[in-house]
């Protein structure tokens, strides 16, 4: 069984505030040693900004291969996609997201839902990158998810839909 391990609050912690990424790196070393094929680094409360993300990626990529790392970003303060771009630039190709931006976190006060999958896929497709995801069907899935949870989901593409194409 392949196991991806998660380290939460690498960019900042709702209880302790600033986090030294070296502490997360030590944990990542242990997780890799115990057999995790990939380590997902979490900005659990969505405080990360691009330069910080660049520093974290550089720190981890000095010891791990690009395919051993994933980013788990929240858009709480509107910086998730900017941080995705930094991660892409560093060579990371695994990003967590949830349809419509569904989610939240029971142990991290103030955490909003994940980066919306529709927003992520829209960005990646716009850059000519392949995801294997049908964005129109994903948007339909977002509408279903919204009906199921019975509240408005925060994703931008989920709310705005796809732009009209020139005919
Ligand atoms: Zn999360």
In the sheet with 95-96, reading across from the earlier edge strand, the strands are 4-7, 38-43, 69-73, 95-96
77-133 pLDDT, tens digit per residue, is 999 999 999 999 999 999 999 999 998 777 777 778 899 999 999 999 999 999 999
pLDDT at position 167 is 66
pLDDT at position 85 is 98
2-60 pLDDT, tens digit per residue, is 999 999 999 999 999 999 999 999 999 999 999 999 999 999 999 999 999 999 999 99
What separation in Å is there between the alpha carbon of 165 and the centre of ligand 1?
33
54-77 pLDDT, tens digit per residue, is 999 999 999 999 999 999 999 999
Do 119 and 154 touch, CB atoms closer than 8 A? no
Average pLDDT estimate for 143-151: 95
Q: Buried b / exposed e across 107-118, counting CB within 10 Å, b at 16+?
A: ebeebbbbbbbb
What separation in Å is there between the alpha carbon of 166 and the centre of ligand 1?
37
What separation in Å is there between the alpha carbon of 43 and the centre of ligand 1?
7
Measured CA to CA in angstroms, residue 12 lies from 17, 52, 73, 93, 136 at distances of 6, 10, 12, 22, 34
What separation in Å is there between the alpha carbon of 80 and the centre of ligand 1?
11
Q: Which pTM was predicted?
A: 0.94
What tokens appear for 64 in the block? 């791990």
pLDDT above 90 for 162: yes
Backbone angles phi, psi at 69, to 5 degrees: -115, 145
The answer for residues whose C-beta is within 8 angstroms of residue 146's C-beta and 6 or more apart is 100, 152, 153, 158
Catalytic residue set? 105
């Amino acid at each position: 069984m392949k196991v991806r391990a998660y380290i939460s609050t690498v960019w900042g912690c709702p209880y302790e505030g600033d986090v030294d990424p070296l502490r997360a790196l030590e944990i990542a070393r242990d997780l890799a040693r115990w057999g995790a094929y990939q380590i997902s680094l979490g900005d659990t409360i969505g405080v990360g900004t691009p330069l910080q993300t660049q520093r974290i990626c550089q720190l981890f990529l000095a010891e791990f291969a690009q395919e051993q790392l994933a980013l788990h970003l929240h858009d709480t303060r509107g910086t998730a996609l900017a941080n995705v771009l930094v991660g892409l630039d560093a060579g990371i190709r695994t990003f967590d997201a949830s349809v419509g931006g569904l989610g939240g976190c029971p142990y991290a006060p103030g955490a909003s839902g994940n980066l919306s999958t529709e927003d992520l896929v829209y960005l990646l497709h716009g850059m000519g990158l392949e995801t294997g995801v049908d964005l129109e069907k994903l948007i339909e899935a977002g509408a279903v998810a919204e009906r199921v949870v019975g509240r408005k989901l925060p994703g931008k593409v989920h709310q705005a839909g796809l732009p009209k194409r020139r005919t």
